[in-house]
Amino acid sequence: MSCPYKQPAHQLTMIPGPIEFSDEVLYAMSTPSQSHTSTEFVATFLSTLKQLRKIFKSTDPKAQPYVVAGSGTLGWDMAASSLLEAGDKALVLSTGFFSDSFAEALRVYDINVDVISAPVGDVVPLAKVAEALQKTKYQAITITHVDTSTAVVSDIKAIAAKVRELSPETLIIIDGVCSVGAEDIEFDSWGLDYVLTGSQKALGCPAGLSISFASARAQAKVLSRAKPATFFASMKRWTPVMQAYEAGSGAYFATPAIQTITALNVALKQILDEGLDARLAKQAQVSDKFKQDLASLGLQIVPVSTKVAAHGLTGIYFPEGVAGGDLLAKIAGKGINVAGGIHKDIKTKYFRVGHMGVSAYRGDVGLVLQALKEALAELGYKK
């Protein structure tokens, strides 16, 4: 059935999230009011939770999806306050701004945090992770799968395998904000314990939802906790609510964001109808092509090699002699918003382009490239 809603022409949002949305997803946002316990909404939430299991490639019935009004930031809080306790030790692998922010969330709850920072544009070497795990007993390790500040992707499969080998009791917590739906994640077979994301990234739904997935053992830890450290971010309080909805009946801890969850359900269906692997391959292909085109223009990306470059966004250094602010303003003037830099060490030296979701299909990335070329030419840049 064709969608009765066509979104109007607008400034293209080609930042690493919020991404552009499909007409069908936006139409679902305008769903008329429903009770949070209505047959219709219970069916929607049930479908959303079931679909999330497929997004995480998980078949373990004891693994638990969560969808809560909030954002990726709330996911950090849920992990920090529900999976760890004061005095616990956590190892944080930092590949940028967002990894460091996760560490900050952990410290709020008096968790002892050790941070291993990668050089800008690179990942933490596996040997360093192994060394730390052999020296100290950590209750958890946090890995930012793709740090949105550097556009670097960490090899969470290899890291998880190393953790399982050297310190099997350590919970493996993944910030998947810029990776879920854009990078492959095999939750069960890689032995992950908690992956969190936000709705507005590669899943292709407007902002407003914290989405996460917990393993059976993370779940056991959550439920055994006598006194969670927070109220709203308490996974223990949300677990029975999610279980009730997935079993086909409503339950209450807070009113769910009905319209946004309805839109998420549509967004997930669009991914799964195409096939998750096909979606990942398409985004990777568009990403690879974009990075090649940038190289042809003589531009340098932030990741030190394409091997550690993420597929959902690209971080690009401004070429010498081109003022960053001028370049972004010129691109904006051509109808496209891209994002400035946010990594403290290189903040003014680079910009970021998101190419997740529908933008990988609609030709949006070609428009960015064209606008970039024109803007560079207007600013006198020559390769």
Binding site for a second copy (CB under 8 A): 5, 7-8, 10-11, 13, 15, 17-21, 26-27, 29-36, 38, 40, 69-74, 76-77, 80-81, 104-105, 108-109, 198, 200, 206-209, 227-234, 253-260, 337, 339
Give bridge partners of residue 153 from the DSSP assignment. Answer: 146
Q: Are 219 and 193 in contact (CB under 8 A)?
A: no
User: DSSP assignment, residue 357?
Assistant: G
Please spell the DSSP secondary structure of 238-297, one letter per residue: HHHHHHHHHTTS---SS---HHHHHHHHHHHHHHHHH-HHHHHHHHHHHHHHHHHHHHHT
Which residue, 19 or 133, has its beta carbon nearer to a second copy?
A: 19
User: DSSP assignment, residue 4?
Assistant: S
Q: Which of 274, 308, 295 is nearest to 369 (CA)?
A: 295
How far apart are CB 1 and a second copy at their closest, in Å?
14
Q: Which single residue is written with the structure tokens 């010129």?
A: 330
The answer to the question of whether 352 is labelled as a binding residue is: yes
Q: Are 215 and 71 in contact (CB under 8 A)?
A: no
How far apart are CB 294 and a second copy at their closest, in Å?
21
Which residue, 38 or 296, has its beta carbon nearer to a second copy?
A: 38
The token pair that represents 113 in the structure block: 């945090």
- Cα→Cα distances 220→52, 65, 214, Å: 20, 14, 10
Give the torsion through C-alpha atoms of 295, 300, 301, 307, to 10 deg: 60
Which residue, 4 or 61, has its beta carbon nearer to a second copy?
A: 4
How far apart are CB 164 and a second copy at their closest, in Å?
28
Q: Could you give the 3-state DSSP secondary structure of residue 108?
A: helix
CA 189 to CA 186: how far, in whole Å? 6
> Which phi-psi region, left, alpha or beta, contains residue 127 (left: φ > 0; alpha: ψ -120 to 50)?
alpha
Which residue, 97 or 381, has its beta carbon nearer to a second copy?
A: 97
How far apart are CB 290 and a second copy at their closest, in Å?
19
Determine the distance from the C-alpha atom of residue 68 to the mean position of all C-alpha atoms in its chain, rounded to a whole number: 15
Which residue, 232 or 293, has its beta carbon nearer to a second copy?
A: 232
Q: Could you give the 3-state DSSP secondary structure of residue 47?
A: helix
Which residue, 63 or 257, has its beta carbon nearer to a second copy?
A: 257
How far apart are CB 28 and a second copy at their closest, in Å?
8
Which residue, 58 or 179, has its beta carbon nearer to a second copy?
A: 179
CA 148 to CA 152: how far, in whole Å? 8
Which residue, 105 or 192, has its beta carbon nearer to a second copy?
A: 105
Q: Are 312 and 183 in contact (CB under 8 A)?
A: yes
Angle between helix 72-82 and 235-246 (nearest 10): 110
How far apart are CB 359 and a second copy at their closest, in Å?
9
Which residue, 298 or 333, has its beta carbon nearer to a second copy?
A: 333
Q: Name the binding residues for substrate.
A: 352
Q: Name the binding residues.
A: 352
